[in-house]
Structure 1
Amino acid sequence: MSDLFFYGTLRYVPLLELVLDRPADHINLTQAELHGYGAYAVKDQIFPMVDKGEGRVTHGLLVQGLTPEDIDRLIYYEGGFDYDLHRLPLRTASGEMVEAEVFIPAPGLWEPSTPWSLDDWAADWGELTVLAAEEVMSHYGSLPASDIVPRFPAIRMRAQGRLAARRREVSKDWDISKDVVVRSHKRPYLGYFTMEEATLQHRRFDGSMGPELSRSALINGHASVILPYDPVRDCVLVIEQFRAPAFFIGDPNPWLIEAVAGMVDPGESPEDAARRETREEANVEVTELFSAGDGYSSSGSSAEFLHLFVGIADLSAPASTGGLATEGEDIRSHIIPYTEFMDRLDQGKLKNVPLISIANWLGRNHDRLRKDI
């Protein structure tokens, strides 16, 4: 048995319950203080750290009576954040002095910023963090924590995608808590994307439960797709880049013409993501955005949900290359007159479905976007 002190996100009871895999009323929790340290938000991150300093006090939870399995689960989860356990003295709410293990970041690993608030963090990030932790802990016992660390940014993006999905309109005809029964579930692959496989049953249109089905899906976050359009010059900007899936399937030209696109980062709106990606991939600033619809890109195989936009932009500058070197992107822009672009659409020369969808929206709204020129 061992005792730990939590000063940060593991004070959030839903997260602690998930990591330990049991309800809070089965966990021995006590309020306590760690003197000589302050809790601060980590610069450019959504989790806190403690920083040593005279007169500082950190309030948190003392968790007592943890089993070796509990410690392993906690170390597995916190291992993704490069914290080490240190035994430090604490003062409980009753004034008793005790010692417990505390997760302390390696010196110089993170830069502290403002004092950290659990309530503020929970309001902004609590639900997303629990969803990310759910994926992390699903690999406990099958993958080492070192495999999780480089994938954690993608795990967070998927968590944001899951959160966005949960907030979509509830069906008036179906109740997924009763109309879908999951018999088994696993995640056999973890990379930039992840795969989920399940054996399940769902209710049929005649009211009966259907047979057990084996299904798999590519799980990723949600993404923004934007076609920059200049109504003054009546032209659009598209990008060209190498796409490995097209190469894998045997397409002789895996350099595809597409709209600007990218994943929505945690805490970012689809509109902000569209503007950011246009800067990164095409070196263009968008002045106004128009929604061209949203939906699943390939609902039979993928959970990817796309937000489609047309963005008003000044395309007077020559097309350029762009993309982030850190993501291995090598992107070339093309500025195409509207009539030529629509001819390519009609001739079946556009092979990217999100781009085709946005092109059709632009075709229906072209005159409206140009009327005030």
Structure 2
Amino acid sequence: MSDLFFYGTLRHLPLLELVLGRPASKLEFAQATLKDHAVHSVQDQAFPMIVHEEGSLAKGLLLRGLSEEDQNRLVFYEGGFDYDLREQTVDLADGSISQALVFYPEPGLWNRGGRWSLQGWLDEWGAMTMLAAQEVMGFYGKVDAEQIARSFPSIRTRAWAKLAARQRATGDARDTAKDVIVHDRKPAYVNYFGMEEVALQHRQYDGSMGKVLNRSSLMQGSAVIVLPYDPVRDTVLLVEQFRAPIFLAEDPEPWMCEPVAGMIDPGETPEQAALREAEEEAQIALNRLEYAGGAYSSSGSSTEYLYLYVGLADLTKTIEDGGLATEGEDIRTQILPFSEFMDRIDSHGFKDLPLLAVAHWLARHRERLRG
């Protein structure tokens, strides 16, 4: 049995219950503090870090009498954040002290931000973190913590996309709580993408419940699609890059001409992601975004939702060193006159569906944008 001191997100009892797999009523815990330490946010991340800071006091939660299984589950979850356990002495409210293990970040791994607030984190990141933790703990006992650590940025991206999906009601009166029965739902694979399997029934158009269906889905985050357009020069910019799925399909031409595209990071709006991706992939600054619609890219197989934009810009140069080396991107760009671009659309010279969708939207709105 071990005692642990939690100073960060696991002070949120619903998250702690999810990670341990049992209710808080079955846990023994007390408020505690750790001297000469402070809890700071981590720059560009949704979780905190603890640092040695003379004279400061880190508030936290002391969890007593944890089983080996509890500790294994905690180490598995915290492994996604690259933390290690160290023993420290903590002070309790009744004046007593206790030895406890504390999760510390690997030295030099993160850059500290300002002082961290549990309530501030709950308001901004609580819902996303709960969704991400559900996916993480769904793989407990199936993959190791290192696999989760590698996959964690994508897990958070998928959680952020689920929050956005919950806001996409269009007025359908049917209620999934009454019209869908889930018999089994389980994670099947985790990496850059995830895979989930489900056995369910849904209400049919005659009012009856259909038979049990066994289905699987590629679990992805949401993405932005941006076609840069110069209304003065009447030109568009395309990016070209190698696409492994096209190669795996045994298409002899896996170098794809596409719009600028990329995943929406946690905390980003689609518009912010569109501006960022234009800079990263094409090294251009967009003057304005025109929303061309949003849709699921392949509703029968994937959760990916695409936000489509035309980005107005001054298109004067092409590059051959676009993208981020850290993501293995090798991108070049080309600028085409609008008439030539549409000729290639009409002669089926492109294989990217989002490009076709945005091209047809641009064709309908081009005169307005030029005016």
TM-score range for the pair, normalised by the shorter chain length: over 0.9
Letter in 2 for 1:360: H
Question: In the alignment, what sits opposite 1:54?
Answer: 54
Cα contact 1:282–1:320 (8 A) shared by 2: no
Alpha-carbon separation, structure 2, partners of 1:61 and 1:279: 43
Gap regions ≥5 residues in structure 2: none
The 2-side partners of 1:97 and 1:5 are apart by 12
Question: For the residues of structure 1 that align with 2:245 and 2:54, how far apart are their CA atoms?
Answer: 56
Q: Which moved more, 1:121-130 or 1:182-191?
A: 182-191
* Partner residue, 1:287: 287
Cα offset, 1:247, TM superposition: 1.5
- Structure-2 change in CA distance of 1:170 and 1:29 (3 Å): farther
Amino acid of the structure 2 residue aligned with 1:127: A
SS at match of 2:361: helix
Cα distance between partner residues in 2 of 1:344 and 1:321: 25
Deviation, 1:237, is: 0.5
- 1:270-294 deviation line (CA, Å, top 9, x unaligned): 1111111111111111010010000
Q: Tell whether 2:80 aligns with 1:80.
A: yes
State the Cα distance separating 1:96 from its structure 2 match.
Answer: 2.5
Counterpart contact for 2:318–2:332, Cα < 8 Å = no
Give CA-to-partner distance per residue, 1:40-66, whole Å, 9 cap, x none: 112332211111122110111112232
Q: Percent identity?
A: 54
User: Where does residue 118 of structure 2 map in the other structure?
Assistant: 118
Is 1:23 the counterpart of 2:26? The answer is no
Contact 1:225/1:260, CA 8 A, preserved across alignment: yes
- Superposition pairs for residues 138-287 of structure 1, below 5 Å? 138-169=138-169, 172-287=172-287
User: Which whole-Å deviations, capped at 9, do the CAs of 1:150-201 have from their partners, x for residues lacking one?
Assistant: 1111111111111111222275322112221222222222121011111111
Asked if 1:36 corresponds to 2:36, the answer is yes
Kindly provide the CA deviation profile for residues 269-323 of structure 1, in whole angstroms up to 9, marking residues without a partner as x: 1111111111111111101001000010000011100000000000122454411
Report the AA paired with residue 340 of structure 2.
E
List structure 1 runs of 4+ shifted beyond 6 angstroms: none
Give the structure-1-normalised TM-score. Answer: 0.96
Is the Cα contact below 8 Å between 1:282 and 1:323 reproduced in 2?
yes
CA distance in 2, matches of 1:144, 1:336: 48
Give deviations 1:230-265, integer Å, cap 9, x for gaps: 000001001111111121112121111111100001
For 1:54 and 1:277, the matched residues in 2 are separated by 42
CA contact (8 A) 1:199 1:212 kept: yes
> Partner residue of 2:130?
130
Which moved further from structure 2: 332-341 or 107-116? 107-116
- Tell me, yes or no, if the aligned pair for 1:290 and 1:309 is still in contact at 8 Å: yes
2:296 is matched with which residue? 296
In structure 2, what is the equivalent of residue 322 of structure 1?
322
Q: CA–CA distance in 1 between the matches of 2:25 and 2:172? A: 35
**Whole-angstrom distance in 1 between the partners of 2:362 and 2:312:** 11
Distance 1:170 1:131, change over 3 A: farther
8 Å contact from structure 2 (residues 147, 191) kept in 1: no
Which deviates further from its counterpart, 327-336 or 93-102?
A: 93-102
Q: Distance in 1 between matches of 2:154 and 2:245?
A: 19
- Tell me how far apart the structure 2 counterparts of residues 234 and 344 of structure 1 sit (CA, whole Å): 16
Q: Give the drift of 1:82.
A: 2.2
* Higher alpha-carbon deviation: 315-324 or 186-195: 315-324
**Structure-2 separation of matches of 1:153 and 1:318:** 31
Kept in 2: contact 1:319–1:335 (CA 8 A): no
Runs of 5+ unmatched residues, structure 1 = none
Instruction: Indicate whether 1:365 and 2:365 are aligned.
Output: yes
Q: TM-score normalised to the size of structure 2?
A: 0.96
Aligned partner of 1:4: which letter? Answer: L
Q: How many residues align?
A: 371
